[in-house]
Amino acid sequence: MPRRLAAVLFALSSCTGEPEPAREPGDPPARRIVSQTILSDEVLWALGPAAQARVVGVSALADDPRYSGAAGVWPPAVPRRALTSEGLLALQPDLAVIASFTAPEVRELLSTHGVRLLELTQFRGFADYRAHVRRLAAVVEDPAAGERLVADLDARLARLAAREPAPRLAAISWGDGHAAAAGTSFDDIAEAAGLSNLAKEKGLEGHVPVALELMVSWDPPVIVIACPAAEPDDPACRAAEAATAALPGVRATAAARDGRIVAVPGRALTSTGEGMARAAELLQARLGAGPP
């Protein structure tokens, strides 16, 4: 996988932080929403027509199939806007959905022009996703739609748990010299797929540098990588697996010997939304524990 793409994928994936905060008390409803995160692009669409009707703009990455689970679903008439664009203000939003990593100058621009901010914080797994869904459902005045999304997620996780493979294998999510350890979305993905997170077992936390030599010395039973494709059967995913297997020392690992270098589309593996469940399902399927 190209170095630049790998860096972007890791930047878009989950962040670490403090324990999950209590749910925000009563965000007022909004009528004109600009979504400026991939997660809110996805959730606002999934909440249904009533929520979609309140969206006057989505993020600049909304249609990028490498990262977005909502690629191609928002009508062309809905503007795509970058946070730094003055055109964002021309949409006359009353609410902008931003993230904890949104730049201070962007916050200042929006606030100065009277745009209320809904900040999504912490992107470490399924609990944070449930909290974000419920908060977005509240501002579009459709909490029932939010609970339907949460119930669908929980049903998928229950099916994954029922198919948990035995024995429980250790997996490392690795790319471009970094691994996803404790407190990341991959930690929840691995748990849902019936795997253990090898980097967490080594006492690491967050997205941390792990040199190729160190990763190889751990002899991981499963190596999970991101591939620059929208679907798992894309030849780019098989090419990414082959490229990883060809790295110095990797061919001697248990993962390579047993055919367990698994490429997952980046938009699922680095997702902080519904794509996390998809990544777990794909991992289970590739490891022979159930359908994709």
pLDDT score for 44: 98
Could you list the beta-strand ranges (E) of the chain: 33-35, 55-59, 80-81, 95-99, 116-120, 170-175, 178-180, 196-197, 207-209, 222-227, 261-265
Q: 174 and 86 share a domain?
A: no
The sign of the torsion formed by the CA atoms of 233, 237, 239, 241 equals negative
204-223 pLDDT, tens digit per residue, is 999 999 999 999 999 999 99
9-18, 24-33, 40-49: which is most confident: 40-49
Q: 105 and 196 share a domain?
A: no
Q: What is the pTM of this model?
A: 0.87
Among 158, 174, 206, the domain boundary falls at 158
Q: 112 and 199 share a domain?
A: no
9 within some domain: no
Read off the CATH number of the domain in which 69 is found.
3.40.50.1980
Q: 92 and 122 share a domain?
A: yes
Q: 46 and 150 share a domain?
A: yes
CB contact at 8 A, 173 and 224:
yes
Rounded Cα–Cα distance for residues 188 and 29 (Å): 31
Asked whether residue 259 carries a pLDDT value surpassing 70, the answer given is: yes
Could you tell me the residue range of the domain that residue 114 belongs to? 21-158
Looking at every residue in the chain, the average pLDDT score rounds to: 89
Q: 177 and 107 share a domain?
A: no
pLDDT score for 27: 79
CB contact at 8 A, 223 and 260:
yes
Among 135, 158, 181, the domain boundary falls at 158
Asked whether residue 21 carries a pLDDT value surpassing 50, the answer given is: no
pLDDT score for 89: 87
Neighbours of 213 (CB within 10 A): 9
Q: How many domains are contained in the chain?
A: 2
